[in-house]
Amino acid sequence: MQQSIEQYMQQLGKQARAAAQVLAFASTKTKNNALQAIHDALVAHQSQILAANKIDMEKGQQNSLDAALLDRLELTPKRFEGMLQGLKDVIGLTDPIGEITDLAYRPSGIQLGKMRVPLGVVGMIYESRPNVTLEAASLALKSGNAIILRGGSEALESNKALAQVIQNALKTTELPHEAVQVIETSDRAAVGELITLTEYVDVIIPRGGKGLIQRITNEARIPVIKHLDGNCHVYVEAQADMTKALPIALNAKTHRYGVCNAMETLLVDQAIATTFLPEVAKLYLEKEVELRGCEQTQAILGDAVKAATEDDWHTEYLGPILAVKVVKDMNEAIQHINHYGSHHTDAIITENFSLAQQFLARVDSSSVVINASTRFADGFEYGLGAEIGISTDKIHARGPVGLEGLTSQKWIILGHGEIRE
């Protein structure tokens, strides 16, 4: 059995690599036509896909999956509509492939530049949401990559149905249908194989819980673009404009709780703590946000705040809880952020130019924000059109990853017969 999983994954890998070589020089028109064919096939086979999803939902209920997971798993007609719209959006995106930049003559006479090219084969590992299957497949195709998809076992029927529709649609186009492949087994050994297929897979993108990501990071032999967690901060500096600080502090925490770009710790400069904290606390308590503060915060807010422990500074609550800390100055704020944060998104509220400038340079996060909510850190707000994930890595892609994150640049030399002297 172990042997056969290995052979199965080798076969998927080999097929993906062969497909990638065709995709790499497919024209924009060919790729858009293929995406349109997938769109039309999805419209035609909506009921089939929703029926498959229903089987997953029923199995999930039998297995007592929790409500949040069932919610993410469910494909409603409205969500299906959203998937189709997402696909149309990807068709509308500018094709990044083939772009040549920095083409200039070198003293030797050669003309040197860079050309944007696909990575090749993407391995995508994610949990229950079946709409990720389509999002990831469409971004991969648009950027000229083949993709091997491994969704959660609880979404297997939905994903198999989606894959079948996608592959059948691709068969009517100029692109190979192996450009999009779904791993059709829930055996966990398949993941272990996928992340070590060094010959056939160029990058692994995991989306899911911390446990999944860490397993993959430890075991992968292929570069991983990973998204760990979002422990985001807002630092309200002494010279903050209160008409900006209050709405931003409220928005960053309460606009949506379960998202990675929500604020989890509020840092307040001691110079304004006694005035700012009571005002902002009132807003949070109206929204029933639980506050956990340092000693100084407790001294100012009294019973309105619980005592924060060391753990609180590390925690991504993803819920209506906020850690609050009073800091001496910006240095302490930056040290706190760089030490406890997850290098995702962190903001300062200040009117002081030089402090803002320093904060930008010194905070080691994928998005650093001045006078705006951390909630802006996502692919759609950044104009990427769609996002395949948010990277908390520094290598290759940082922050929201769109089409460009699925590409690399190779060097090109246009010569006239030059040889090296």
Residues that bind its own copies (CB under 8 A): 21, 24-25, 98, 106, 108, 110, 112, 115, 117, 119-120, 202-203, 217-218, 221, 223, 241, 243-244, 247-248, 250-252, 255, 338, 347, 358, 360-362, 364-373, 375-377, 381-383, 393-396, 398-400, 408-420
Q: Are 245 and 349 in contact (CB under 8 A)?
A: yes
Minimum distance from residue 93 beta carbon to its own copies (Å): 16
- At 347 the three-state DSSP class reads strand
85 burial type by CB count under 10 A (0-12 exposed, 13-18 middle, 19+ buried): exposed
Residue 34 backbone dihedrals phi, psi, to 5 degrees:
-65, -40
Q: Are 346 and 363 in contact (CB under 8 A)?
A: yes
Q: Which is nearer to its own copies, 161 or 191 (CB)?
A: 191
CA distances from 29 to 95, 173, 384 (A): 10, 11, 20
Cβ–Cβ contacts within 10 Å for residue 127, how many? 18
Minimum distance from residue 375 beta carbon to its own copies (Å): 4
Minimum distance from residue 100 beta carbon to its own copies (Å): 9
Residue partners of 363: CB distance under 8 A and separation at least 6: 334, 337, 338, 346, 348
Minimum distance from residue 68 beta carbon to its own copies (Å): 22
Torsion of CA 283, 288, 293, 297, to 10 degrees: 30
Q: Which is nearer to its own copies, 220 or 300 (CB)?
A: 220
Minimum distance from residue 72 beta carbon to its own copies (Å): 21
| Helix or strand holding residue 6 (H, E) | helix 2-23
Cβ–Cβ contacts within 10 Å for residue 142, how many? 28
Minimum distance from residue 170 beta carbon to its own copies (Å): 20
Q: Which is nearer to its own copies, 18 or 285 (CB)?
A: 18
Q: Which is nearer to its own copies, 215 or 292 (CB)?
A: 215
Q: Which is nearer to its own copies, 80 or 313 (CB)?
A: 313
Q: Which is nearer to its own copies, 239 or 409 (CB)?
A: 409
